[in-house]
Amino acid sequence: MSDVAIIGGGIVGLACAYELAGAGARVTVLEYGKPGMQATNAAAGMLAPLGVAEGPGPMVSFGLRALAEYPPLAEELERACGFGLELRLNGILRVAYDDDELAALARRCAWQREQGMAVDLLDGALCRELESRLSGRMAGGVFSPGEGAVSNQLVALALERAAIARGATVRSGTPVTGFETRGGRVRAVRSRDASYACDAVVIAAGARSGQIAAKLRARLPVRPVRGQMIALGGMRPAVRHCVWGPHGYLVPRANGLVFAGATVEDVGFRRRTTKAGERGLRAMASTLVPQLRAATQQFAWAGLRPGTPDGLPMIGPLPEWEDVVVATGHYRNGILLGPLTGRLVAKGVMQRDWAGVPAEFSPGRFA
């Protein structure tokens, strides 16, 4: 018997498995495809808590907390697994093409400084000192030296291997078909060919979390939001830092590729790329860095982000099911927030202590 059945093997589910197994729980992860190969694999790997928030709030505070915890976790996972995670906190440059866009960045920079965050407002010349290949059209930008990126694929792989080393079981190709309930509690999770007895359930199925919760007659308003990306190569890396423009971003990777993303599309569960989406990303990338017109598109891909009506994640007990916990709705911040979510879910499940999760993230707000 597993103490905890985790539905979903993306970065959030794997982080929950790693932390719960480390706390002494017997854990089984049920992933309908391959672990880490859905939205987690499709991400760019940016660790950017400042994002596009217009003011302070629980999401920014939670993101900064998650960012601060990344380096020690990365060291822990690298020691456990024997490979690096390509963690690079060398800064993110957000740029503007005109005075209006720069004014918006300046307003954001002002409140971030008031909150004690290290950010610098730059003119166009200083932006190009940081990134010499940027377009001459740049009016200016904001540099956040503490943000950066990580290899999302390697983080997911490390969490999976480290969770297994701690005793967790990870089952691929195991879609959940239903639950066995008795006395108002979930007693087991069913798949097509087996039933997994458990004392607690964690729903961490990303964009499909709502479908899973519906099997318990519960409402989780999570919707899939498609994001397309392309990888550009065939030339010297065009940027050294993550560069975020008004219409997209560029993320340099350790293998010399530059990831360009990402579209935001409400198209249901259609996880495929489109020619129009790829053309738009090529145009965005070459507008930011004109030399990228000469780059070769190596490949393109798409993923389904788990979005919520208010843009905040859902972390905590599912209303009316005290033994069912929700960890989903991280939208564009799953790579950043996943590890911290896993730690807080483990504490909540094992100690019934949810004090570390902002009240605004409670799944009960949609009940």
Range in 11-25, 46-60, 216-230, 336-350 with the lowest mean pLDDT: 46-60
pLDDT value of position 329: 98
User: Does the pLDDT at position 1 exceed 70?
Assistant: no
In sequence order, what are the residues at sequence separation of 6 or more whose Cβ sits closer than 8 angstroms to the Cβ of residue 286? 292, 293
Architecture of the 2-78+152-221+310-366 domain: 3-Layer(bba) Sandwich (3.50)
Residue type, 225: V
Q: In this structure, which topology does domain 89-147+224-307 adopt according to CATH?
A: D-Amino Acid Oxidase; Chain A, domain 2 (3.30.9)
Model confidence pLDDT, tens digit, residues 131-164? 999 999 999 999 999 999 999 999 999 999 999 9
Domain with CATH 3.30.9.10 in the chain: 89-147+224-307
Which residue in the block uniquely carries the two structure tokens 């498995």?
A: 17
pLDDT at 55 over 70: yes
| Nearest C-alpha neighbor of 111 from the set 149, 60, 47, 46 | 60
What is the location of CATH 3.50.50.60 in the chain?
2-78+152-221+310-366
* Mean pLDDT within 110-117: 92
Report d(CA 231, CA 68) in Å as an integer.
28
CA distance 21 to 5: 11
Could you tell me whether strands 27-30 and 169-171 are parallel, antiparallel, or unpaired per DSSP bridges?
Answer: parallel
Q: How many CA atoms lie within 13 A of 207 on its CB side?
A: 21
Which helix (H) or strand (E) segment is 324 a member of? strand 321-328
Residue 50 has pLDDT above 80, yes or no: yes
Rounded (5°) CA angle 46-47-48: 100
pTM for this model (two decimals): 0.96
Residue 235: the pLDDT is 87
Single-letter code of the amino acid located at 146: G
Residue 154 parent element (H or E):
helix 152-165
Q: Could you tell me which residues come within 8 angstroms of residue 351 by beta carbon, excluding any fewer than 6 positions away? A: none
Q: Are 311 and 59 in contact (CB under 8 A)?
A: yes
The answer to whether the beta carbons of residues 150 and 335 sit under 8 Å apart is yes
Looking at every residue in the chain, the average pLDDT score rounds to 96
With bands split at pLDDT 50, 70 and 90, how would you rate the model's confidence at 236? confident
Quick check: 364 and 319 in contact, CB under 8 A?
Answer: yes
Q: Percent of the chain scored above 90 by pLDDT?
A: 94
Give residue 36's pLDDT band: very low, low, confident or very high (50, 70, 90). Answer: very high
Nearest by Cα to 62 from 73, 51, 71, 76: 51
- 119: Cα within 13 Å, side-chain hemisphere: 25
Residues in the chain: 367
Burial bucket for residue 184 (CB in 10 Å: 0-12, 13-18, 19+) = exposed
Provide the token pair at 100.
């209006």
Q: Mean pLDDT throughout 226-238?
A: 93
Choose the weakest-confidence range: 2-6, 246-250, 284-288, 355-359.
2-6
Count CA atoms closer than 13 A to 356's CA, side-chain side: 16
